[in-house]
Each structure stands twice: as C-alpha cells, then as structure tokens.
Amino acid sequence: MNTKLNAIFTLSVLMSFFSGLIASNVPINQDVLAQGLNTHNTGPLNVNVQVSNTGNAELIGSIHVISDITGVSKNANGIIFPSGQTVIKTFDFNQTEIPNGADFNVEIVYGDDFSKIAHGVNNQTDMPVFFNIKIP
C-alpha cells in the first residue's frame, strides 16, 4: 500500500514538473497581460447617483456633480423625486474633466432650497462610483 502512495506522489510531482516546462515554452500575449494588469482608468468616470425619497411628499429638485479641481459640473435639473421611490441618474466624465485621484462633489438640491452633499474621488479603476442619498 505504501508503494502505491509513493508511486502516485512521484507521478504527480513529475506531471507538475513537465506541465510547468511545457507551459514555460508557450509564448505569452503581452497585450492581454498588460490589459489585465492595468490599474489606471483611461476611460470615462461614471458617477451613478441614486436618490431615495423617504418622505411622504413628492419633491422637485436637481442633481449636480462638480469637479473640485477643474470646476466642471454636470447637472440634471427639474427632477421629480416621487414619495417612497428612488431616482437614478448617471453622469459621465472624461479624464480631463475629473482626472485620476481628483475629488468631486455630488449635490442634491430639493424642496425649498434644501440640499445634501456627498464627496467622491476618481478612484483610478474602471469601476463606476455609486452614491445612494436619502432625502428629506
């Protein structure tokens, strides 16, 4: 019985060795490798703003996304925030509008000049940035 285990162990070590040898002779596609290791965002920054109206009244307002560094802003005005419902808006920025590592603000203005502000950073990944803001 012990001889069978030794034979199995020796066979698995040899198979691992030869598979490593074979794999090392296979050329690696450097373009695919570079894309897989890329941690810097070169595409647009997607800012997803989700506003949930937890109150009993329908509210009208706006959403502003403003770059602290460049001063660029994108706005959605005249939005109806229905009572007990959620509204979602997406804003896209290129790297010149909100560069990698740059701060930005999301401001929700609603009702009679009430507002809420949230802060974000272009996180240098290809993932969108999400905000979930509850009003009133």
Does position 136 have pLDDT exceeding 60, yes or no? Answer: yes
Q: How is residue 27 written in tokens?
A: 């050329």
Q: How is residue 80 written in tokens?
A: 């109806």
**Buried b or exposed e, range 13-29, using 16+ CB within 10 angstroms:** eeeeeeeeeeeeeeeee
Give this prediction's pTM.
0.68
The per-residue pLDDT for range 38-79, each reduced to its tens digit, is 345 467 899 999 999 999 999 999 999 999 899 999 999 999
The per-residue pLDDT for range 84-135, each reduced to its tens digit, is 999 999 999 999 999 999 999 999 999 988 999 999 999 877 788 999 999 9
Residue type, 95: Q
Q: How is residue 63 written in tokens?
A: 């959403």
Q: What is the pLDDT of residue 42?
A: 65
The per-residue pLDDT for range 10-38, each reduced to its tens digit, is 555 445 444 443 444 433 332 222 223 33
